[in-house]
Structure 1
Amino acid sequence: MRELTKYIWWKKPDEAMQDERRLIAQVMCLGDWDDTLKLESNVEREALIGAIKNAEAGWFTPRAWHFWHYRLGLAKNESDIPQLPVRKFR
């Protein structure tokens, strides 16, 4: 559980585990190469795609956003990568 707080430090571990998509996105965004390999070997590809396709504003940095679109085969070139999600105010 200690490693979990590396990614979701603002929630208790039990709370963090309830939002799998958010946890996956945090590892995708903040993880190092070893974390990436662990994530890919322990989480189904569809869950990784679901995390990026349903990401909320602020979940990904531009670097991680681009990396994962290429890594998951969702993009072959820059024009295939959608804009990062943004917050909308009424």
Structure 2
Amino acid sequence: MSPLQRAFLLEAAGRYLWWQQPEEALACPRRILAQVMNLGVWEDWCRMTALFTPEELAEVLAHAEMGQFSPRSWSFWHCRFSKEIPPMPHRIAP
């Protein structure tokens, strides 16, 4: 991770993962990116897409957990990366 990516993730963690300390949240950068992708404002999206490759952001979608994305964000980011929109992650009842 580059110093610019780290700085962005720490700043975004402070804004989008308010229940954790930014340094603690940095242990899971995909979670921070998922929060920005789901809840972020345009300026944060622009910074994120300038700092992270489409492949890195597509990996966030590929490893998404249940509840990390709204249906709207899920569709937007899959369309943005020209990917087929799969069903959203869901819990499987035993």
- Report the TM range for the smaller structure's normalisation: 0.7 to 0.9
Q: Which residue of 2 aligns with 1:5?
A: 14
Does 2:50 align with 1:46? no
Q: Which residue of 1 aligns with 2:66?
A: 57
Q: Say which SS state the counterpart of residue 83 (structure 1) adopts.
A: coil
2:89 pairs, out of 71, 85, 89, with: 85
Check conservation: 2:35, 2:68, Cα contact below 8 A: yes
Amino acid at match of 2:55: E
Cα 1:2/1:70, change in 2 over 3 Å: closer
Cα 1:54/1:8, change in 2 over 3 Å: same
Normalising to structure 1: TM-score of the pair? Answer: 0.85
Q: Which residue of 1 aligns with 2:33?
A: 24
Cα 1:23/1:71, change in 2 over 3 Å: same
Gaps of 5+ in 1: 75-79
Amino acid at match of 1:86: H
Give aligned-pair identity as a percent: 39
CA drift at 1:2? 5.3
More helix by share: 2
CA RMSD of aligned residues (A): 1.4
Deviations 1:21-57 (A, max 9, x none): 1111110001111111111001122110000011000
